[in-house]
Structure 1
Amino acid sequence: MRQLMLAGKQLAPLTPSEQCDDNEVSGCESQVWLILGGDTHAVQLRAYSTSKIIRGLLAVLMEPLQGQSVEKIQAFDSQAYLQLLGLERHLSQSRASGLNAVVKAIQYRCQSL
């Protein structure tokens, strides 16, 4: 958990105006905000959470997605990735569901780029 909290320090906080309802991801117990930019060839992700552990999980989750194409992001299997890292067994059901909601939100929002 300490390593996750350290990873979360990599995420720059979003401004108060960016922490709005339009950017909030539903389906998470902790508040999570997500902003996508770039284009279909190189998606830029920014995310933040009020929870230190969730921030760390967001940092780990966003690492393989940052700068990727929409096509690669759409094909991303977050469960397999978390298994590869050995993190899935440490996640509660609610955290796993919340991370899944974040990935689904990323994939859905990619459609509008």
Structure 2
Amino acid sequence: MNLPTQAASALEAFQAVGSWEQRARMLMQWGERLPALADEDKVDANLVQGCESLVWLVGRLESDHWQFAASSDARMIRGLVALLLARVNGLSSAQLQVVDLPDWFNQLGLSRQLSPSRSNGLNAVLQRMRTLSQTQN
């Protein structure tokens, strides 16, 4: 499966750095670059259930391709969510259903960063994306 452009550049960047510290720093930078969500989007209806941190998610379908935006109160989660968005933005609903989250973070060399609670939280975000994509088809 072809990666969206932003995902391909993320993969290239993360694979180019050798040390875990550099990857962690890059992860934080991705989180800082995540566009801010509008206050009106930070409502309970957009809160992802199943995350220990607060994560808000909104999505819209544009010409059969999904565009998601998200925000989190936790820096590390913001970075992980930014990388998840890079992986899924621009996908069709069908492509969204088959995204392999563990494989994606493994390719980025960030599996170590995925504690069980973070992994569960990211899975909850992906599930929410899939649910949104099924309800708006």
TM bin (shorter chain): over 0.9
Does residue 59 of structure 1 match 2:82? yes
Does residue 87 of structure 1 match 2:115? no
Given the two structures, how large is their TM-score scaled by the length of structure 2? 0.78
User: For residues 126 and 63 of structure 2, what CA distance do their matches in structure 1 show?
Assistant: 17
Q: Secondary structure at the match of 2:70?
A: strand
Given the two structures, how large is their TM-score scaled by the length of structure 1? 0.93
Please, which runs of 5 or more residues in structure 1 have no aligned partner?
Answer: none
Does residue 70 of structure 1 match 2:93? yes
* Identical amino acids, percent of aligned pairs: 38
Which 10-residue stretch deviates more, 7-16 or 46-55?
Answer: 7-16
Does residue 31 of structure 1 match 2:54? yes
Count, aligned residues: 113
> What's the offset of the Cα at 1:62?
1.1
Do the aligned partners of 1:25 and 1:31 also contact (CA within 8 Å) in 2? yes
- Structure (1 or 2) with the greater helix fraction: 2
Which structure's CA Rg is the greater one?
2
Which 10-residue stretch deviates more, 91-100 or 18-27?
Answer: 91-100
Q: Deviations over 1:33-75 (max 9, x none)?
A: 0001024721111010011111100111111211110110011
